[in-house]
Amino acid sequence: MPLMNSQYEAILRTYAARQAKGRRELDERLLRIQKQIPSLAPLEASLASLQAEKVRSAIEGSQEERSRLEKEIDLLRSKRKQLLEKEGYTLLDLEPSFVCPDCRDTGFIGTEKCHCFLQAEIDLIYNQSHLKEILKEENFHSFSYAWYEGEDQDIMKRHVMDAWLFIEAFDTSFQNLLLLGEVGTGKTFLSNCIAKELMDTGHSVVYLTAFQLFELLSKAVFGDPRGQAYEQQAYPYIFDCDLLIIDDLGTELSNSFTISQFFLCINERILRRKSTLISSNLDMEALKNTYSERTLSRIISSYTIRQLPGSDIRIRKKLQSSA
């Protein structure tokens, strides 16, 4: 999944800036700690000296000498911990903090790209910064059952529980979700809740409306001289990201191309065991008539299907705000 050199360098500059910020914050924090705890610096020097002695004793010294050094080191470590805690610090305050602890803000784990680097590529190529802004508003913390009444509320609570189970089992169980329902019943909102939880735990998520998906597939297949480099880079992520969200399936202009490409997309991701979440206003019969019985059969066999209850929440919110 290649990036253009300028894009790749832009991501690397982001990581370099992140590392520089981390070092600067650590230096400032250590300086502040040393001013508050003057006895910490000589203690650290003594600890470093004893650890160096311990290394030498492993080669030249006796077991008795090593045991003595270990006891002294443990004593100094305990004293250091006490000094820090007295001033409201912990041992972690002496270490650098990272945006991504897995790769320590390098973007790589060994020679492999870290999951955070992959998400940075996806964000750059798909320009998903708008999605992250949406997820600040649309997430489980802001989800409200107040828009569902009676039995609908009970049904929605079960669907939210299913969404949490999907998230919690994401790394151990291959699964896909199809959310059906009338316009404005919360399908996109629930999809965004799931997306945020997975992105917050380092999973790569690509969000596309059905129109965006088929436009991208069309340009990748038939070519687009104005955006060929972009299409070559973006296309593989559709099949390789941890979670692909296809929103509003059925709102695009349907034809033989979209039908075949939709089957290709969901089938390829199933074969690669990459999860997909689809939302649609269509019912099962309409899906079959629009995308073929073969496609519907593939969905039924590989997707958990949930029908969201209720009426258009967006209209009700609008009416309430203008009342």
Count of Cβ atoms closer than 10 Å to residue 213 Cβ: 23
Q: Are strands 112-113 and 177-180 parallel, antiparallel or unpaired?
A: unpaired
Q: Are residues 84 and 225 in the same domain?
A: no
Q: Are residues 136 and 25 in the same domain?
A: no
Alpha-carbon distances of 25 from 28, 87, 89, 93, 219, rounded to whole Å: 5, 18, 15, 10, 45
Alpha-carbon distances of 291 from 30, 253, 259, rounded to whole Å: 61, 12, 5
* C-alpha to C-alpha distance for 125 and 95, rounded to whole angstroms: 34
- Tell me, what's the pLDDT at 12? 93
246 dihedral zone (left: phi>0; alpha: psi -120 to 50; beta): beta
SS3 of residue 305 by DSSP = strand
Q: Are residues 187 and 283 in the same domain?
A: yes
For 86, list phi and psi in degrees, rounded to 5.
-60, -30
Count of Cβ atoms closer than 10 Å to residue 323 Cβ: 5
Q: Are residues 90 and 207 in the same domain?
A: no
* Region 95-116 average pLDDT: 93
**pLDDT-wise least confident of 92-101, 216-225, 286-295, 314-323:** 314-323
Strand-by-strand arrangement of the 304-307 sheet: 205-209, 243-249, 275-280, 177-180, 304-307
Q: Residue 214: exposed, middle, or buried by beta-carbon count in 10 A (0-12, 13-18, 19+)?
A: buried
Residue 106 lies in a domain: no
- Tell me, what's the pLDDT at 216? 84
For residues 278 and 208, is the Cβ–Cβ distance under 8 A?
A: no
This prediction has a pTM of 0.68
Token couple for 291: 């995308």
Residue 99 lies in a domain: no
**pLDDT-wise least confident of 37-41, 52-56, 187-191, 277-281:** 52-56
* Region 72-83 average pLDDT: 93
Q: What is the DSSP string of 252-268?
A: S---HHHHHHHHHHHHH
Residue 124 lies in a domain: yes
Residue 102 lies in a domain: no
Asked which of 44, 65, 94 is the last residue of a domain, the reply is 94
SS3 of residue 83 by DSSP = helix
- Domain extent for 298: 114-322
Q: Are residues 245 and 132 in the same domain?
A: yes
List the CATH number of the domain containing 217: 3.40.50.300
Query: Structurally, how many domains does the chain consist of?
Result: 2
Residue 103 lies in a domain: no
Asked which of 94, 123, 140 is the last residue of a domain, the reply is 94
Q: Are residues 86 and 123 in the same domain?
A: no
Residue 307 lies in a domain: yes
Q: Are residues 151 and 270 in the same domain?
A: yes
Query: pLDDT tens-digit profile of 266-297?
Result: 999 999 999 999 999 999 999 999 999 999 99
* C-alpha to C-alpha distance for 285 and 107, rounded to whole angstroms: 46
Tokens 């100094």 belong to residue = 76
Residue 249 lies in a domain: yes
DSSP single-letter state for residue 38:
T
Q: Are residues 224 and 75 in the same domain?
A: no
Q: Are residues 158 and 50 in the same domain?
A: no
Q: Are residues 200 and 254 in the same domain?
A: yes
- Tell me, what's the pLDDT at 1? 40
SS3 of residue 295 by DSSP = helix
Q: Are residues 184 and 268 in the same domain?
A: yes
Q: Are residues 247 and 159 in the same domain?
A: yes
Residue 104 lies in a domain: no
